[in-house]
Amino acid sequence: MYAYDEIDRTLVNERVSEFRDQVQRRLSGELTEDEFKMLRLQNGVYLQLHAYMFRVAIPYGTLASNQLRALAHIARKYDRGYGHFTTRQNIQFNWIKLSDLPDALADLAEVGIHAMQTSGNNMRNVTSDQWAGVAPGEIEDPRIWSELIRQHTTLHPEFSFLPRKFKIAITASEHDRAAIKVHDIGLKLIKNEKGETGFEVLVGGGLGRTPFIGKTIKHFVHGRDILSYIEAILRVYNQYGRRDNIYKARIKILVHELGIEKFSREVEEEWQQIRNSSLQIDDEVIEDIRSRFTYPSYEKLPHMPDELRQAAADPDFEAWRKNSVAPHKVQGYSIVTISLKPTGGPPGDATAEQMDVLADLADKYSFGEIRVGHEQNLALPHVAKRDLPALWKALDKLGLATPNVNLITDIIACPGLDYCSLANARSIPIAQELTRRFANHELANLIGRLHINISGCINACGHHHVGHIGILGVEKNGEEVYQITIGGRADENAALGTLIGPGVKFDEVADVVEDIVEAYLALRERPEELFMDTVKRLGVEPFKERVYATR
Amino acid sequence: MTSPLQQKLKITGPSIVTANRTWDGVVIYRTAAKDWSEQLADAAIVRNADEAKALLAESVADDVGAIGPYIAPVQVDDAGKILPGNLREEIRRTGVTIDLPV
């Protein structure tokens, strides 16, 4: 966990006071909506279909148990008893009143949580691997660098009025769980030949209307230079990014139009002017941040405790363990992913009760720490293997032990037309129907790893472009129509999916997915060949033929 | 269901002005009495671009009471009952089409 210092606490508290004053002036009519809009957006407040939506940042996906309880409190006191975890390590509350927002922010500030820069044309929440600090083989904990960037960019005047929003993600593992290749800047922690810590820097990734996979702009930037290098990228973007056309304003368009070579030359030129400035980071700064992260005092535990051996006889436990439990860097411990994708449930939603009990379970079994992943699931990062059976029972009682992590029902979906003012079609009911269709866990396991991503409009909050099966809802002649893509992925081999044909109607989407899955099961050469392997081997044609043969 | 935020003003049939109430965000409809109501049944109906622009203008003028007024299509049945003109407005009127998780 990271402990805020006095500067952070003062900043957050002052921001609450400012916003309280701004809301009062808005409600009294002293501020018009035009004047107020940017102020509310800078505090994570959107207007959606039915109400205001409040987006709260969970920097690099790390939550303490008292912070999760505070989120439960917000859901219960100011909203309708639940929250929605997003694809960028935020949580959203869908029904909050503007008049309650200052109090909600004040309650969150007490536990060091805020909503700054969760909206608007600024640097958004810096995201990272939800297994940061515990994943085996990691270069080092990427949250230290995430925190450095968070501190530097929060309320930075130069980054507060960018041409468009700007998102950074950081990973320190070979297997990318932070989707860095579809971010404006993606950072991969690496070591150079001297053993020094630095970053491979990618730029210009993004989804939305015009999707691009990020390109490597620099193969190694030393850690001490990372702020100046990021600043150089942002300066070039600030100077040349389009402000006249919202659809062409993201950095990905600039990188695409200039070309990565020209863009990198511009960045290099800028960087040479600022790299030896005060932006160069002293080791002490990094060590100070590192010292504010606390790590558990792990016990020396056996690799295979008796409790785990005995529980293995229970097939339900084993189904969950195989699916939800991942290796930890410390022997005797595990990382436990908690699926927020129950059969028939909205992906990513958690009730206040679930959050409260989960906070208790985190205290009991995970040193009080919870993680949030971009797949809209949670994780307990430090669970002793001996505790896995007891944890599983507790999660099961809470409805949080669905054994479907990374399987076909572990669906990423945006709120869609049920909530979102930009959406053209519903996402959640499609996801719910698919979770019912594939509710049989034996079938889901037979299918194996398969990610479905659903977006309710071209803005792609459900990351449909990078779903193994991507579903995009559009509107055609007043009806919801869904375009299906195949072959996308968001990991270290990130790729955009290929459209397989004309859109299908709302009622047909689950049938189409079933057809694709049946085709895959028939086409794969062996059970170990994953869906993406089959797509890679055969292309999309066989799937297209299967889907449209009878349509 | 193209978002009205992305649409141009185009009146092809009976329409109303809808917005969200400023202090709590609740869906509201502009009435003929130059006020707001939570009930679609109370909405003032306009049938051409001039009427729509006039209703929108008076709605926008109430910047304290309402946020984001826009023109939305409706259907009016033989009995005079006003119905939402598309799924988006139906969802705004009746709520989400899914069971809430609580």
Contact A419 B2 (CB under 8 A): no
* Cβ contacts of A372 within 8 Å, gap of 6 or more: A58, A61, A62, A63, A85, A89, A91, A130, A378, A379
Instruction: Give the whole-angstrom CA distance, residue A279 versus residue A281.
Output: 6
Task: For the beta carbon of residue A538, count every other beta carbon within 10 angstroms.
Answer: 14
> For B1-102, where are the E strands, in sequence order?
15-21, 27-30, 36-37, 66-76, 82-84
Task: For the beta carbon of residue A293, count every other beta carbon within 10 angstroms.
Answer: 16
Contact A51 B5 (CB under 8 A): no
Phi-psi region of A143 (alpha: psi -120 to 50; beta: other; left: phi over 0): alpha
Would you give the DSSP letter of residue A416? G
Residues of A in contact with B87 (CB under 8 A): 417, 478, 480
Q: Does B3 touch chain A (CB under 8 A)?
A: yes
Task: For the beta carbon of residue A266, count every other beta carbon within 10 angstroms.
Answer: 19
Residues of A in contact with B25 (CB under 8 A): 47-48, 50-52, 95-98
Nearest Cβ partner for B101 among A29, A351, A422: A351
| Per-residue model confidence (pLDDT) at position A57 | 96
| Per-residue model confidence (pLDDT) at position B102 | 83
Q: Does A355 touch chain B (CB under 8 A)?
A: no
Task: For the beta carbon of residue A261, count every other beta carbon within 10 angstroms.
Answer: 10
* Cβ contacts of A313 within 8 Å, gap of 6 or more: none
3-state DSSP call for residue A97?
Answer: coil
User: How far off is chain B from A339, nearest CA to CA, in Å?
Assistant: 14
Q: Residue A457: closest CA among chain B residues belongs to which residue?
A: B2
Contact A508, A464 (CB under 8 A): no
* Cβ contacts of A306 within 8 Å, gap of 6 or more: A386
User: How far off is chain A from B88, nearest CA to CA, in Å?
Assistant: 7
Contact A245, A254 (CB under 8 A): no
| Per-residue model confidence (pLDDT) at position B11 | 85
| Per-residue model confidence (pLDDT) at position B7 | 52
| Per-residue model confidence (pLDDT) at position A5 | 82
Residues of B in contact with A52 (CB under 8 A): 20, 24-25
User: How far off is chain A from B81, nearest CA to CA, in Å?
Assistant: 21
- Give every residue of chain A whose pLDDT is below 70, as ranges: none
Strands A215-222, A197-203: pairing is antiparallel
The sign of the dihedral angle between the CA atoms of A461, A462, A468, A471 is negative
Which pTM value belongs to this model?
0.96
Q: Domain-by-domain residue ranges, chain B? A: 15-92
Instruction: Give the whole-angstrom CA distance, residue A480 versus residue A471.
Output: 12
Q: What is the mean pLDDT of each run of 10 residues along chain B (102 residues)?
A: 58 95 98 98 96 95 96 96 97 95 84
Would you give the DSSP letter of residue B46? B
Would you give the DSSP letter of residue B44? P
